[in-house]
Chains A and B, each alone.
Chain A
Amino acid sequence: MAVFDPVKVAFFVEVLVSGLLSGILYALVALGFVLIFKASGVFNFAQGAMVLVAGLALVRTLNWLEAHLPFWLALLLALSFAGALMTGIAWAVERFVLRKLVNQTALALFMATIGITFVLEGLGQQIFGAQVYKLDIGLPRDNIFALESLFDGGILLNTLDLWSALLAAAIVGALAFFFQWTRTGRALRAVADDHSAAQSVGIPLTRVWFIVWVVAGLVAIAAAAVWGSKVGVQFSLVYVALKALPVIIVGGLTSVPGAILGGLLIGAGEKLAEVYLGPSLGGGIEHWFAYVVALVVLLVRPQGLFGDRIIERI
């Protein structure tokens, strides 16, 4: 009986939707991991640091330019600057790290990305500052009530979350198109399938790695823009990015749809668990729920729900 109490259903939907919305953001970060792992077999620990650096570059240039230029122009320039910076990072990583480490073990490459993490975090904060910066990219942030015809009083939504979700969905759509239908996208998928065969038909691996790190960098900018709008640009973005780890374990390291669904699953799951199990388990579930789910998935289905490669010990 109680299940169909409209107030309770409305509340459930509200929790679910807000969970799904933050899940989309997890998915965005997870996508960066998956892209790099598929194309180069590198487990990129630095994805979180890339989000941080992208966010810092974006917010600092935006705040500075805003004072002198119309907002939209400042935003455009700040985004371009962040894009150029991420491209530069991709170039440097390919040129000075990946190229030197071709044929090394996955562990050596993983260690290298830990090194990249420290360099990015250190330099990023050195150059752009280490405080909390408020980011406003012009997305509205009012609370609205939706589905009023369905539920009495509707459900409470934040438009910032809605816009973020739309933006994330657009990016995912653009990536899907890029991978499925362009020549370069096809080449990236070929490399992900079989490095050596891709090389044999003349696809240059170094170029593919560069492109994939650029794409991961752009995804990092998007993730930083939406997360930053929500919680401000600060060092803790790195921890948000850590949430992407359980997401890819759940979704599978090699699967783009897996990253997206994994993100939604974890986002919704942790919110629902917090609200419905929190009272009996003492709260704070949100912070560890994702890792427990990941652990269970690792035990039951180590390749993730959609992946086809087993994650080896790292």
Chain B
Amino acid sequence: MQRLEQGEGESGRLSPILTVNNIEVVYDHVALVLKGVSLTVPERGVVALLGANGAGKTTALRAISNLLKGERGEVTKGSITFAGERVDRLTPNNLVRRGCIQVLEGRRCFGHLTIEENLLTGAYTRPDGAAAIRRDLDHIYETFPRLRQRRTSLAGYVSGGEQQMCAIGRALMSKPRMILLDEPSMGLAPQVVEEIFAIVRELNLREGVSFLLAEQNTRMALKYATYGYILETGRVVMDGPAEAMRENDDVKEFYIGRADAQGANFRNVKTYRRRKRWLS
């Protein structure tokens, strides 16, 4: 399968590493939550998937990573292609082996394991030996110096920012080509969010990891992504280069909230965010 022609010009149109083609997702055999979603992540791209809460961002990421089954969800239509191959019938284990891994919403570190043990679980699928894993562990500690200081602490007892770093580091230990990152900003102070996003950019530029970034924090996500999609009740309602989106009036309006139909919705978003921030 030939891929990887370098981008021509400023449009940066590289061959896609991930293509989601018109998928539908149903929960519990009845609730249709994604109603035909298509999106593309170019090789070495950072793409943002935006939308208010309940829009279907997490569902879309779980559909890609094959983690819907545990939530009694199912992809009923459409196809998903990763690195040139259909992946919509694989197990999560198999997909991680191929280089696509998800960092779950809410970080989900293993609370009773130390930070270092958490990182090592990320290497579970790797066939290469202990020496290579050690080397990569060191590498993760260079990327996240705070994790090195905390390596023997139980993950349940470190700060939210450190947990988010641990979750990303854990995913990196699988040597992924692509990370599906679900709401990294959730419940974190603004400067910590900056720090996390800066690391995402660094990983993208330095190591060529592609990112699909689900975020409610539209401003922040569009600052670091190159391209964006906006989901609304299970449909993509807008997409485009991040720069254009940042300037777009509709997006600004979306971000500030729509006066008409979305009014009530937006209030929910705001209280939800506030709740998240206070609770975590």
Contacts and interface: CB of A to CB of B under 8 A. Distances in A.
Contacts of B29: none
Interface stretch (A3-11, A56-64, A78-86, A186-194): A186-194
A202 B92 contact: yes
A131 interface: no
A34 to B, nearest CB: 14
Contact of A190 (B65, B69, B110): B110
Given A187-B121, A203-B93, A196 B67 contact: yes
A200 B65 contact: yes
A196 B108 contact: yes
Nearest to A189: B113
Interface string A100-139: 0011000000000000000000000000000000000000
Contacts of A203: 93, 121, 124
A189 B117 CA distance: 10
Interface stretch (B11-19, B95-103, B218-226, B252-260): B95-103
A193 B111 contact: yes
Contacts of B206: none
Contacts of B111: 193-194
A313 interface: no
Contact of B70 (A192, A196, A201, A202): A196
A201 B109 CA distance: 11
Interface in B81-114: 91-93, 95-97, 101-104, 108-113
Given A103-B70, A193-B111, A194-B110, A200 B101 contact: yes
A86 B86 CA distance: 38
B93 A204 contact: yes
A89 interface: no
B67 A200 contact: yes
A189 B93 contact: no
Interface residues of A, number: 20
Given A200-B101, A201-B101, A201-B122, A190 B108 contact: no
A195 B101 contact: no
B31 to A, nearest CB: 15
B124 A201 contact: yes
B72 interface: yes
A193 B112 contact: yes
B101 A202 contact: yes
A195 B110 CA distance: 10
B112 to A, nearest CB: 5
A313 B182 CA distance: 35
A201 B97 CA distance: 10
Interface residues of B, number: 31
B108 A194 contact: yes
Nearest to A195: B70
B174 interface: yes
Contact of A187 (B72, B101, B124): B124
A143 interface: no
Contacts of A297: none
Contacts of A190: 110, 113, 118, 121
B262 interface: no
A107 B126 CA distance: 36
A198 interface: yes
A183 interface: yes
B70 A102 contact: yes
Contacts of A176: none
A197 interface: yes
Interface string A178-221: 00000100110110111111111111100000000000000000
B265 interface: no
Contacts of A103: 70, 72
A201 B174 contact: yes
B32 interface: no
B125 interface: yes
A215 B79 CA distance: 40
A200 B102 contact: yes
Nearest to B173: A201
A197 B92 contact: no
20 contacts: A103-B70, A103-B72, A187-B121, A190-B118, A192-B112, A193-B112, A194-B108, A196-B67, A197-B104, A197-B108, A198-B110, A200-B92, A200-B102, A200-B104, A201-B101, A201-B121, A201-B124, A201-B125, A202-B97, A203-B124
Interface of B: 65, 67, 69-70, 72, 91-93, 95-97, 101-104, 108-113, 117-118, 120-122, 124-125, 170-171, 174
Interface of A: 102-103, 183, 186-187, 189-190, 192-204
Given A193-B110, A193-B113, A202-B97, 12 more contacts: A102-B70, A183-B120, A187-B124, A194-B110, A195-B70, A197-B109, A199-B92, A200-B102, A201-B125, A201-B171, A202-B93, A203-B124
